Structure 1
Amino acid sequence: MSAPLRRIVLDVMKPIKGPSIIDVAKSIASIDGIEGVNITVEEMDVETAGLNITIEGNDIPFEKVEDMLENLGCVIHSIDQVISGKRIVEEKNLED
């Protein structure tokens, strides 16, 4: 059995005429294994909004997150962070 996904940070494009970010957050949060969702609008143009989506949980089912976003008309541009294991390990900045 593989270690559970605890946090995923995604760069996502959402159509402006699609669902609101509130609806996107609620839809993702409704998936079993997800405890919290944070969505920040990073940029906007005439047709799309660039979103930074942080998802945390005990065992995030990434395939279900992908399917949910696709059904909402969103496209994942990149996976910017993944944390997996028994606990969340925060990144350490060695320059501090």
Structure 2
Amino acid sequence: MEKEIVTSVLLWLILIFHPLTTIYANTEGDALHNLRTNLIDPNNVLQSWDPTLVNPCTWFHVTCNNDNSVIRVDLGNAALSGSLVPQLGLLKNLQYL
């Protein structure tokens, strides 16, 4: 009985906190994914930009600091076209675009 209660409490905590991690943990990734969806990428250079990852620090053309916050997005010579998105303002530590 006690094991069932502990399992129920853990499941409840996961259900409560999981949406919060989805909303807050990948804010920078979501912002960059919004950019990706507004760009025409004929050479598919942004294919590694997967919004389901915890953060975008593993994506090509993205550099992060020690806190896993985006500091650089280098898209030069990528033959991209399109428009920038306001969500880029969520990249609080961005130094280079």
- The structure with the largest helix share of the pair is 2
TM-score in terms of structure 2 length: 0.36
- The structure with the largest strand share of the pair is 1
Between structure 1 and structure 2, the one with the greater Rg is: 2
Bigger relative contact order, structure 1 or 2, given CA contacts below 8 A and separation 6+?
Answer: 1
